[in-house]
Amino acid sequence: MWMTSLILALKEIRRHKMRAFLTTLGIIIGVASVVIMVSLGAATTQSVQASVSKLGTNMLTIRTGFGFKAGGGAPPPNFELDDVEAIQKQVGGIRAVAPQASTSATAIFEAKNWSTTITGTTDDYFAASQMEFSNGRSFTDAEVAGGKSVCVIGDTIRENLFDKQDPVGRNLRLKDISCEVIGVLTKRGQSGFGPNPDDQVVLPIKTVMRRLTGNQQVQAIQVAVDERYDSKAISGSISQLLREHRHLGPNVEDNFMIFDSKQLSDTLASTTRMLTGLLAAVAAVSLIVGGIGIMNIMLVSVTERTREIGIRLAIGAVAREVLMQFLVEAITLSCIGGIIGLIFALSVVALLSMALDLPFVFDYQISLLAFFFSALIGVVFGYFPAKRAASLNPIEALRHE
């Protein structure tokens, strides 16, 4: 009986190509839209998380300022080297602490010049902000302590000033001083906020203070938190310490801010998760719309099919056989539609992820869900009108207009 039903169903599909096409089209749209939306959503989430992880997952950046409120009165004082030392000595669970004294200057090498950011810091800076060297080395303790004229350059500087030459061992001019390039950083790419880490010249902090800024101000402090510790707790202790150092009374607001990269990445992750949820909701709606399409075409062909059922019953088909044929037809069309929909969706996702520079993500659970939901609608709306028709007296089915 299965064989007979299969033969009859395939024959009917071949004879009614337009009807078969419209039915499968509904399923194709339903499956494809869900898979495309959810896959792109997941790819975006992954890509955002990847760029957040470039920041270093457990990094605190401390800057002066009054948070997001409109500030009035005098600008808050800068940090001092004492603050940095205190954090290093009094707060546990820290891998590295690095002060940052920043200014800007034009870097000159031979006939070329490039206007860039100058960062004065210690060798801990590279560890704290997870930067790697493509060439050369970091500062020695002696160079930091003695305020020597040595520098490490970002990849943008290397590209613009040295072209294909090896910069290590060459001398760069910054304002009045000349400093030797001892290292080059690996290209990192803009991580979404803050200054471009590739476009900077890094010097020992004392060199910057003495010879470029002429003051003792530290604009920012970078802290790398040991992964085994909770960054929130550490951020709390640092805050307490800085309040003491800056003589803030119990009711006075902080005049500095601590950015926790982990918090930021958590926030971004939850935002993208929300986005994915939204996309899934849109996808669910398109699945329902696709389902209604399937339902329509199935119901529209009921009149024609009722007569067909009447003929089959009159020449001796048992109701069960007719139903089996319709069921097989609906299942076949739904599966073909589902498979085409999946293939189509995967091609679109592959193309889009290339075009938008996103990772290719295939969520097989959602794909299966979309597939089965569409197939279910196809089968249900193919089957139940047929069931009603098959329960009719053959005479009534034949008379059906």
Q: Which residues bind other proteins (CB under 8 A)?
A: 4, 7-8, 11, 15-16, 304, 307-308, 310-321, 393-395, 398
Is 195 within 8 Å of 117 (Cβ atoms)? yes
Between 378 and 394, CB nearer to other proteins:
394
Contact 187, 55 (CB under 8 A): no
Nearer to other proteins, 356 or 395 (CB): 395
Least CB distance from residue 381 to other proteins, whole Å? 21
Cα distance between residue 21 and residue 29, in whole Å: 12
**Least separation, in Å, of the C-beta of 307 and other proteins?**
7
- Residue 385 C-beta: closest distance to other proteins, Å: 17
Q: Whole-angstrom Cα distance, residue 258 to residue 263? A: 11
Provide the minimum distance between the beta carbon of 1 and other proteins in the complex, in angstroms, as a whole number: 9
Residue 388: CB minimum distance to other proteins, A: 14
| Shortest Å distance, C-beta 16 to other proteins | 7
Nearest approach in angstroms of CB 398 to other proteins is: 6
Residue with tokens 């920012």: 220
Least Cβ distance, residue 25 to other proteins (angstroms): 20
Residue whose CB is less far from other proteins, 30 or 394: 394
d(CA 20, CA 13): 6
Q: Which is nearer to other proteins, 240 or 393 (CB)?
A: 393
Of 311 and 376, which has the nearer Cβ to other proteins?
311
Nearer to other proteins, 8 or 220 (CB): 8
- Rounded Cα distance between 235 and 262, Å, is 11
Q: Of the two residues 158 and 305, which places its CB atom closer to other proteins in the complex?
A: 305
Burial class (CB in 10 A: 0-12, 13-18, 19+), 6: middle
Closest CB to other proteins among residues 187, 400 = 400
* Shortest spacing between CB 317 and other proteins, in angstroms: 5
256: β partners = 64
Do residues 62 and 79 touch, judged by C-beta distance below 8 A? yes
The residue (of 368 and 395) whose beta carbon lies closer to other proteins is 395
Directed axis angle between helix 231-245 and helix 81-90, to 10°? 130
Q: Which residues sit opposite 180 in a β-bridge?
A: 150, 171
- Strands 177-185 and 150-153, sheet pairing: parallel
